[in-house]
A and B are shown apart, each in its own frame.
Chain A
Amino acid sequence: MSLDKATVAKIAHLARIKVPEADQDHLAQELSAILAFVAQLDEVDTEGVAPMTSVVEHALRWRDDVIDDGGNVERVVSNAPEQVAGFYVVPKVVE
């Protein structure tokens, strides 16, 4: 599987990372090399094999549905670029 420049630009947009056009050729080569490397997996017979979702074979625990934390507004927003009255002030994120 070999990626071209246009595909790199498309993935970069999906990943929301600006990739300057000057970098796209080089990245296409690097990503293609990685994809060529992982293509070895096609050799493995995985017919009827369940995909692994967790290496820990244990049932997830349940907890009581009670409030056990909270009241930490100041700590929650302390890394906000801007805050007003305990709220995050962010750029408009719904367009």
Chain B
Amino acid sequence: MSELTQLTLAAALKGLDRGDFTAAELTESHIAAVAAARPLNAFITETFDRARQQATASDARRVQGTAGPLDGAPLAIKDLFCTEGVQTTAGSAILKGFVPTYESTVTARLFRDGAVMLGKANLDEFAMGSSNITSHYGPVISPWTGKAPADAVRKLVPGGSSGGSAAAVAARCALGATGTDTGGSIRQPAAFTGIVGLKPTYGRCSRWGIIAFASSLDQAGPMTRTVEDAAIMLRSMAGYDPKDSTSVDRPVPDYAAALTGDIRGLRVGIPAEYRVDGTDPEIAALWQQGIDWLRAAGAEPVDIHLPHTKYALPTYYIVAPAECSSNLSRYDGVRFGVRVPGDSLAEMYENTRAAGFGAEVRRRILIGTYVLSAGYYDAYYLKAQKVRTRIAEDFRRAFEQCDVILTPTAPSAAFAIGERMDDPVTMYLNDVFTVPASLAGLPGLSVPAGLSSKALPLGLQLIGRPFDEETLIRVGGVLETAAGFHTRPPFIAGEV
């Protein structure tokens, strides 16, 4: 075990500043950790040579006094971000051989600030999934095992779609990771693996160079082991980008400065509609515990209503597949990626897309095609867009009564690989608490808050007003301190 891989991002940056160790040493420790954690299948592509070069350059900058805010920090990059000169797969067979000749804006900003890339993290194919089992490159295995029967090797999912990012950070392979979140893909895996995941407001981070799933929902964000680390990473990732017309031009604050610990008088909304029938009693108890922690810190819990909550998932499963069917039409075998010949042009398209897409992606493209097709557009797609307006209105009204909303992140702890596979709708229910904020474009933060009776991590979610990530971070810091979640997963890279 290397002590250096146990550090938080904030502590590692301080250590580099003080000269306790070099970026090269920090990076070597993490490279060893990534190699030791290969059984988790958290990475699709390892970029160790590049990491070493970046670390050497970082050490040189530090000597010259030109080090950036993330200089020398080894990170994992979800393989949905295009990285110049490094294969980018989106977890799909159809992009086999695709090597971008450009850098996504978010990764470019991380590198501008000195970050080191260890590799490209595994994910659900095109970020469609809540378990990381739909990746063409195989499932990611959670570093958490729970109280598994000794005779059975029960492998748990890390959540998804940012499952490789979550597993890498939890297993101490990386100080932090990028994720993307369309309906919960940062927050749910963060909750499943006992780490922090922050989905910023839609428009806060540029989507340019991130392979698109559902463009009106997709948003990049940090996955880290502490709230402070998420604040540090977000500051580098966020900001206006002329190349993304939906990115918003407003100043990027020093998010870590929001960690004052003072939430006295803050009104915390508790939505009645999130107490859904059949909620796991452990989840309900943890939620109550969270309310009590915030009250003890001086905040004021307020009962609120979000009446259209139960319609969020059905809305999402129209809007997201519709956008995905449109976005993924570009994968046709003509200009890049896989091509499977056919007797006609149409057959070449059909063969290519049949071979290139996995079952879940195919299912969503078909649903999306159906709801956008002539005769069904109004009944499904337009209806869903109207309900989406209703859902956003619910939040707008709620935020007249409260400053932040507290909910559980997911309705259960992590499940085993192979479970919940029979019926897609059951799998979709994982995102019941995360999807509403996504549809409204609001920021959401998942903080690890406790362990289930099966010794698996559980998370609490904070939802904020548009562009008020600072309140999320401030309240998240208080929750983190109160919860005192320091349990490490049974699998730590290099210790097994």
Contact = CB atoms under 8 A, between A and B. Distances in A.
B340 to A, nearest CB: 9
Contacts of B101: 72, 75-76, 78-79
Contacts of A75: 101-102
Contacts of B392: 52, 55
B350 A61 contact: no
Given A17-B350, A95-B345, A41 B315 contact: yes
Interface residues of B, number: 66
A39 B345 CA distance: 36
Contact of A50 (B311, B335, B389): B389
Contact of A46 (B336, B350, B390): B390
Interface residues of A, number: 52
A14 B383 contact: no
Given A17-B357, A41-B315, A79 B336 contact: yes
B62 interface: no
A91 B348 contact: yes
Interface in B211-267: 216, 242, 245-246, 248-249
B310 interface: yes
B363 to A, nearest CB: 6
B92 to A, nearest CB: 13
Interface string B296-319: 000000000000101101110110
B382 A51 contact: yes
Interface in B363-408: 363, 365-367, 369-370, 373, 380, 382-390, 392
Q: Is the interface of A mostly helix, strand, loop or mixed?
A: loop
A2 to B, nearest CB: 12
A41 B310 CA distance: 9
Nearest to B348: A91
B99 A78 contact: yes
B52 interface: no
Given A15-B325, A15-B353, A44 B389 contact: no
A76 B101 CA distance: 8
Given A15-B325, A18-B353, A81-B336, A41 B202 contact: no
A31 to B, nearest CB: 6
Contact of B308 (A37, A44, A88): A44
Nearest to A48: B386
Contacts of B354: 17-19
Contact of A17 (B317, B337, B362): B362
Contacts of B351: 18
Interface of A: 3, 7-8, 11-19, 27, 30-31, 33-35, 37-44, 46, 49-56, 58, 60-61, 63, 72, 75-76, 78-81, 88, 90-93, 95
